[in-house]
Structure 1
Amino acid sequence: MSSEPEPGLVPEHLRTRYQGDPVTLTVDGQEFRVRTRAGAPGTYDFDWLTGPHEYGFALSGPAEPAMSRAEMERHIRDFLADIDPATGYLAE
């Protein structure tokens, strides 16, 4: 067995870990997966599953109370409002 890392695999110590089950939301026809980072209370990763690129965003806030679905949807709408339709990325 080689001690060299395998191409394309992220080393275990660099992988982001999540707690609880992910939440899948469809907002304005776009699907997102929202996950809570383990060891970082109040930090959420939003993955844009139906976007033109592997893309998304993260938010950090107070650990309690947990972010509600309505708050998640509002943050997703704010994100989508800033997307350039020509590029599929945040507008500059």
Structure 2
Amino acid sequence: MSGEPEPGLVPEHLRPTPDESDSLMLTVDGQDFRVWSPVPGTYNFDWLSGPHDYGFGLSRSDGSTMSRPEMEQAIRDFLAQIDPATGYLAE
């Protein structure tokens, strides 16, 4: 290994973080999420009320904006995949 970073991997200290003024707080089915977009068409969903520091991301190839109902459905789809015993995606 040459010590060069691998394509597509960003060291944690260089990853973008949400700006409170640019994030949206959503409560869906009793669960709290912060939604923020580091670049147009890319969304990070931080699960604030979950049992772990966990969440998910979505990107749109055309860079289009997600509507609030689309965000809420994405959260419901994510929650439907969570194993209640572990709090993580079911295997």
Coarse TM-score class (shorter-chain normalised): 0.7 to 0.9
TM-score by length of 1: 0.77
CA distance in 2: counterparts of 1:86 and 1:22, whole angstroms: 30
SS where residue 85 of structure 1 aligns?
A: coil
Alignment of 1:11-50 (within 5 A): 11=13, 14-17=14-17, 21-37=22-38, 40-50=39-49
5+ long unaligned stretches in structure 2: 1-11
> d(CA) in 1 for partners of 2:78 and 2:15?
25
> Does residue 1:51 correspond to 2:50, yes or no?
yes
TM-fit CA distance, 1:18 = 5.0
Q: Distance in 1 between matches of 2:17 and 2:28?
A: 25
Q: Which stretches of structure 1, 4 residues or longer, exceed 6 Å deviation after superposition?
A: none
Give 1 or 2: higher strand fraction.
Answer: 1
Q: How many residues are matched?
A: 78
Q: Distance in 2 between matches of 1:69 and 1:24?
A: 11
The alignment's TM-score, normalised by the length of structure 2, stands at 0.78
Superposed displacement of residue 63, structure 1: 1.4
Amino acid at match of 2:80: A
Q: CA RMSD in A?
A: 1.6
Which structure has the greater CA radius of gyration?
1
Unpaired segments of 5 or more residues in structure 1? 1-9
